[in-house]
Amino acid sequence: MAGLWCFGLLIVNFIVPCVLGTESTTEQGNNLVDFWIVRFLINLLGYATVFVPGYIIINYLRKIKYNETGGHGVLQDFLRNLAFGKESTLPLTQEEDSGKKRDSGEESSFQRGLTLLFCVAGLQGSYLTWGVLQEKIMTSEYGRTEHSPGEFFKNSQFLVFINRILAFLIGLVVLLVKSQPTHTTPFYKYSFSSFSNIMSSWCQYEALKFVSFPTQVMAKASKVIPVMLMGKVVSRKKYDYHEYITAGLISVGVSLFLLTSGDITRHKGSVTTVSGVILLMGYMVFDSFTSNWQGELFKRYKVSSIQMMTGVNLFSCLLTGVSLIEQGGFFESLAFMTKHPDFIFHAIILSLCSAGGQLFIFYTIAQFGPVTFTIIMTIRQGLAILLSCIIYGHPVTLVGIMGVLIVFLALFLRIYANQRKRALQQKSQQASNLSKV
């Protein structure tokens, strides 16, 4: 903890003044507590008040081998599952389970088409609305009139909290009404992806104070690069040549877009600022870890999607809730809500779209597989840029448009190459099985 405090003081004393010097016109410069680096450090200290006691408890339980010596009861079982999980015969993986479901009952083409249309409409509707509202909340001056200035909503962590608590409640309801495989994952392992998920969402909201939504979407499209790097670090994965080539094309396209398209943000007259770039990089790093860590949990413990959704969001609610209470963020946000009722409506719809979108993600992958889902979400990114430019009037140059096209061409090439590779592997496996017979 002492090291964490020293690091925090170093950031506040040296890096904050440097960044503030480059952005002296921003509203954060007028109030140091509202500046994103300070908020970031305060949030980390808040999360530490959960992680440090949790680490001590889990370390102690492992030291005394509580899974062998502990008694039975609600509290004892909770502590055992928290630190050790539960021994069980592993169920089918997601892909095997969904594949058996598809094989067990033939659906007509018309029924499959309607199901696909339902998935497309649900994903596009949820996340396009979510994107528009996200930009609206983080860039609008609530209460602005001809005679008085408005005020911006500042507490991004509160938005993360309301999104996660609704997603947790929905996941809990699904667990109660639908049977799931036996849960074997130690609870504490959800906390790692929960933390990275919280921080990626926080960086995403904060970045909208400094860059436009189209810029943010382009940065998300390029996250395949840090995902690959994180995959090599976390899972020691190896990648094919086409994956490196498409990652390079994405980098070129994103660079063309960012260097030629001006941002209209809540900091008037600013272009893509230092803070915006840092926050987008933070988003990509945290989000890359989230997907890779969850992939490891899926592979090792065969956890179901709903179990993953509920476990991660449970820790997300705990971490953000404790941090908000310690900072007084609940009172700050509630005061803002009482002054601006339209913010309440925006926040509720944002949370519903976020939680509903997660359910559509799991349902689409279960019904049609990850390739179809990736194509739908790739199209969604392009539509999100178009919609944001139309609604909020973001300028995009011809070179910037070319950059967008290069990025989405690379994404579709990547999808096609991965699908072709998968098909060739299946043919090779089938041929091998026939030769053995």
* Beta-ladder partners of 142: 151
Give the pLDDT confidence score for residue 157 in this predicted structure. Answer: 92
Residue 355 and residue 164: Cα distance in Å, rounded? 8
Query: Tokens 């507590």 correspond to what residue?
Result: 33
Q: pLDDT higher for 33 or 192?
A: 192
Q: Which range, 136-150, 206-220, 233-247, 307-321, has the best average confidence (pLDDT)?
A: 307-321
Percentage of the chain lying above the pLDDT 70 cut:
79
On whether residue 397 sits in a domain, the answer given is no
Pinpoint the alpha helices (H) of 72-108: 74-83, 94-104
Residue 322: pLDDT band with limits 50, 70, 90: very high
Confidence of residue 215 (pLDDT cuts 50, 70, 90): confident
How far apart are the C-alpha atoms of 9 and 15, rounded to whole Å?
10
Q: Which one, of 30, 93, 85, lies nearest residue 62 by Cα?
A: 85
Q: How confident is the model at residue 101 (pLDDT cuts 50, 70, 90)?
A: very low
Alpha carbons 324 and 45: distance in angstroms, whole number: 11
pLDDT at 55: 93
> Is 246 part of a structural domain of the chain?
no
Q: Which of 35-44, 132-141, 269-278 has the lowest mean pLDDT?
A: 269-278
Residue 32 belongs to some domain of the structure: no
On the 0-12 / 13-18 / 19+ scale of CB atoms within 10 A, 331 is exposed
Number of domains in the chain: 1
Handedness of CA 122, 127, 128, 132 (dihedral sign): positive
Helices 398-436 + 241-260 axis angle, to 10: 170
- Contact 302/184 with Cβ under 8 angstroms? yes
Of 181, 1, 201, nearest to 91 (Cα)?
181
- pLDDT bracket for residue 43 (50, 70, 90): very high
Q: What's the pLDDT at 192?
A: 94
Q: What pLDDT does 93 receive?
A: 44
Residues 257/400, Cβ–Cβ less than 8 Å:
yes
Q: How much is the pLDDT for 346?
A: 93
88 membership: H or E segment, kind and range: none
pLDDT of residue 143: 86
- Overall average pLDDT of the 24-35 stretch: 49
Average pLDDT over residues 185-205: 92
CA distances 317 to 321, 329, 364, Å, are: 6, 14, 26
The Cα 127–Cα 388 span in angstroms is: 12
pLDDT, tens only, 412-436: 887 788 778 877 877 887 777 766 6
Summarize pLDDT for 326-380 with one digit per residue, the tens.
988 888 898 999 999 999 999 999 999 988 888 888 788 777 766 677 677 777 8
Angle at 309 between CA 304 and CA 314, to 5 degrees: 125
Give the range among 102-116, 135-149, 275-289 with minimum mean pLDDT: 102-116
146 secondary structure, DSSP code: S
Structure tokens that stand for 345 in this block: 């409506």
Contacts of 30 (CB under 8 A, 6+ apart): none
How confident is the model at residue 387, as a pLDDT? 82
Domain that holds residue 315: 114-139+153-236+272-385
Among 1-15, 191-205, 411-425, top mean pLDDT goes to: 191-205
- 358 within domain boundaries: yes
- Under DSSP, the state recorded for 186 is -
pLDDT higher for 89 or 393?
Answer: 393
pLDDT value at residue 415:
76
Structure letter (DSSP) for residue 183: P
Cβ proximity of 399 and 151 under 8 Å: no
Residue whose C-alpha is closest to residue 183's, from 171, 170, 195, 192: 171
More confident residue, 126 or 245: 126
Per-residue pLDDT, averaged over 230-254, amounts to: 76
For the ranges 45-49, 105-109, 251-255, 263-267, the maximum mean pLDDT occurs at 45-49
How is residue 317 written in tokens?
Answer: 């609610």
Is 16 a residue whose pLDDT tops 50? no
Identify the CA nearest to 29 among candidates 336, 37, 14, 272.
Answer: 37
pLDDT 10s digits, 264-313: 444 444 444 678 888 988 988 898 888 788 888 888 888 888 898 999 99
Closest CA to 231 of 295, 300, 292: 292
Structural domain includes residue 202: yes
The mean of the pLDDT values for the chain is: 78
Report the DSSP beta bridge partners of residue 80.
none
Tell the burial category of 161 from Cβ atoms under 10 Å away from its Cβ (0-12, 13-18, 19+).
buried
Q: Residue 62: inside a domain, yes or no?
A: no
Residue 113 corresponds to which tokens in the numbers above? 């088409």
CB 421 within 8 A of CB 240: yes
Q: In the structure, what pLDDT confidence band is assigned to residue 60 with cuts at 50, 70 and 90?
A: very high
Among 80-94, 163-177, 312-326, whose mean pLDDT is lowest? 80-94
Mean pLDDT of 79-108: 56
**Which of the two residues, 217 and 267, has the higher pLDDT score?**
217
**Does a structural domain hold residue 165?**
yes
Least Cα distance to 239 among 251, 221, 249, 227 occurs for 227
Band the pLDDT of 31: cuts 50, 70, 90: low
Residue whose structure tokens are 């999808």 = 415
Joined together, the tokens standing for residue 411 give 């994404």
d(C-alpha 34, C-alpha 62), whole Å: 40
Highest-scoring range by mean pLDDT, 82-86, 298-302, 343-347, 388-392? 343-347
In a domain, 405, yes or no: no
DSSP state of 150: -
Position 48 scores a pLDDT of: 95
Burial bucket for residue 47 (CB in 10 Å: 0-12, 13-18, 19+): buried
Pick the more confident residue, 237 or 186: 186
For the segment 122-135, the average pLDDT, to the nearest whole number, is 90
The CA angle 25-29-35, to the nearest 5 degrees, is 130
| Alpha-carbon span 400 to 403, nearest angstrom | 5
